[in-house]
A and B are shown apart, each in its own frame.
Chain A
Amino acid sequence: MYCKFIGKCSESTSCDRVIDVGSEWRTFSNDKATKDPSRVGDSQNPLLSDGDLSTMIGKGTGAASFDEFGNSKYQNRRTMSSSDRAMMNAFKEITTMADRINLPRNIVDRTNNLFKQVYEQKSLKGRANDAIASACLYIACRQEGVPRTFKEICAVSRISKKEIGRCFKLILKALETSVDLITTGDFMSRFCSNLCLPKQVQMAATHIARKAVELDLVPGRSPISVAAAAIYMASQASAEKRTQKEIGDIAGVADVTIRQSYRLIYPRAPDLFPTDFKFDTPVDKLPQL
């Protein structure tokens, strides 16, 4: 064993200042259900909070911990890590938001990291922490390659889209990062599964949207609107038809917007479909509106 005090390998018996820095191996609890019986501290992340060496004293269980009126004698369970109370709150909020839309742990971790960086920089100190947290969540989704629309983040947050957008731009400036531009393909799988559309339709819609952007049929239109119009066209050509309203609800786009983008791609419909697509409704019978 390497003794760091005397600087060379030694046996544990020869150096009496050897400290074993491994985990606590003794356990006194009886239940075998604990995942990590040798852990003595909380498993919270020391990377994010300022070292997590505080101790929480739990509620007493025996009779001695209650005074005569039934109130617990030791009431202090709070005010630990007061320096980063707000940050802990924000992490909790981020976890809640991510949970609502089933975001994986890696995105949540990335969001926490971003929030910590922004919080420590203090350049956005005046902004609501929830707004910063929502914007960090949006950026994390973008950075992981699975962007969520602002409206989707809005749906799980109490902050308005405008404020999230503002904070988003401020955070990008503060952290001096940038994010990739969104594309139509980023949203296809999510929107199509929410609409219960089969894989064939999803692939067709992806192809339609990509071709429409390549042929520059929809200049200046938001990729979300183009994606929604492509899904509409693909679903209308297949057996699984969806109305504009349904697609608009899922995508967060107004149905008039879908109509506008659909009108732009409709003239070139035969060119946009993939070659191996099985038409339930032929191209010339697609709805024209």
Chain B
Amino acid sequence: MDQNNSLPPYAQGLASPQGAMTPGIPIFSPMMPYGTGLTPQPIQNTNSLSILEEQQRQQQQQQQQQQQQQQQQQQQQQQAAVAAVQQSTSQQATQGPSGQTPQLFHSQTLTTAPLPGTTPLYPSPMTPMTPITPATPASESSGIVPQLQNIVSTVNLGCKLDLKTIALRARNAEYNPKRFAAVIMRIREPRTTALIFSSGKMVCTGAKSEEQSRLAARKYARVVQKLGFPAKFLDFKIQNMVGSCDVKFPIRLEGLVLTHQQFSSYEPELFPGLIYRMIKPRIVLLIFVSGKVVLTGAKVRAEIYEAFENIYPILKGFRKTT
């Protein structure tokens, strides 16, 4: 089951619409994939969710395998050597459509899985394993998935706008040119707020998922279009994603700031949480004594997940024992 993680399990087709996931970097080397049934899935996500579903499928297949392994134990060991060669070559070729990959993994793990009860920590020597991420002990994944709380995106409507008419004619729009040079418009579904500038550029905030953000931006563009402006929908880009989660144990922030001095900033006088600036991926995490973690600064969902998987073993090391 470890072979799944040593290569990008998602082909090009699975990349989220906003741009590729960081290429070549697998979602972390966990033994247990995401979505083990503990985590509520986001509402209606098309692309990035498929990875979770795929890993769920893989996990179910592995559970089936382990039952079959007891019968086919010796055969597997004989085929191990043969399959290892096949596996390394086929892994490099597995950039193909997503539909094939689960099957391939299925067959590979059947043949090369070792004795039940001993999960290998690392794949066979044939497998190229490129640990790009910091060396974490090969322990289980957290099983916790950060939930997205806010998505900020921008879009260009492609035409100059007259903010006064928009403010006068649109519902739920406020405009105070002395205070701020944009119209602030709100819609109820998805619950979001948009700042619409006279240049035609718009910022949409408050959505809980990438699709919702895009949908909301389209709705605002529609409103502007109905008001008579030739609005288009150019360069939709997600600028920032904020996620949060709970590790469910208290954390010793003083210890964390001592060991990770170059990344952390903990000033109780200024802010009660520790500000951890992770270099790779470039995410800022706010870590609190209660165990709640806020992750921000991501352009794609995978960065949030990756950052959390990076920080989780570190936080476990600073768990409060009392």
Instruction: List chain A positions with a Cβ less than 8 A from chain B.
Output: 149-150, 165, 168-169, 172, 178, 181-182, 215-216, 219-224
Contact = CB atoms under 8 A, between A and B. Distances in A.
Contacts of A216: 320, 322
Interface of B: 250, 254, 257-258, 261-262, 265-270, 272, 288-290, 320, 322
Contacts of A168: 267
13 contacts: A150-B269, A168-B267, A169-B265, A169-B267, A172-B265, A178-B262, A181-B254, A215-B322, A216-B322, A222-B268, A222-B269, A222-B272, A224-B269
A150 B270 contact: yes
Contacts of B266: 181
A48 to B, nearest CB: 28
Nearest to B268: A222
A219 B254 CA distance: 11
Contacts of A149: 269
Nearest to A176: B262
Contacts of B262: 178
Candidate in B258, B267, B290, B322 with the most chain A CB atoms within 10 angstroms: B267
A172 B265 CA distance: 10
A219 B250 contact: yes
Contacts of A150: 269-270
Nearest to A172: B265
B268 A182 contact: yes
B261 A178 contact: yes
Contacts of A181: 254, 257-258, 266
A122 to B, nearest CB: 22
Given A178-B261, A216-B320, A223 B268 contact: yes
A171 to B, nearest CB: 12
A220 B269 contact: no
A220 B272 contact: yes
A180 B158 CA distance: 52
Nearest to A226: B268
A221 B288 CA distance: 11
Contact of B290 (A169, A220, A222): A220
Candidate in A178, A181, A219 with the most chain B CB atoms within 10 angstroms: A219
A24 to B, nearest CB: 49
A204 B288 CA distance: 30
Contacts of B265: 169, 172
Nearest to B265: A169
A212 to B, nearest CB: 13
B288 A220 contact: yes
Nearest 5 A/B pairs, CB to CB: A220-B289, A222-B268, A219-B289, A165-B270, A178-B261
Nearest to B275: A169
Contacts of B322: 215-216
Contacts of B250: 219
Contacts of A222: 268-269, 272
Candidate in B254, B258, B269, B289 with the most chain A CB atoms within 10 angstroms: B269
A45 to B, nearest CB: 31
Given A216-B322, A219-B250, A220-B290, A182 B269 contact: yes
Candidate in A149, A150, A181, A223 with the most chain B CB atoms within 10 angstroms: A181
B268 to A, nearest CB: 4
Contacts of B261: 178
A11 B267 CA distance: 63
A103 to B, nearest CB: 19
A149 to B, nearest CB: 6
Contacts of A220: 272, 288-290
B29 to A, nearest CB: 31
A117 B272 CA distance: 30
B267 A165 contact: yes
A150 B267 CA distance: 11
A181 B268 CA distance: 9
A172 B288 CA distance: 22
A222 B267 CA distance: 9
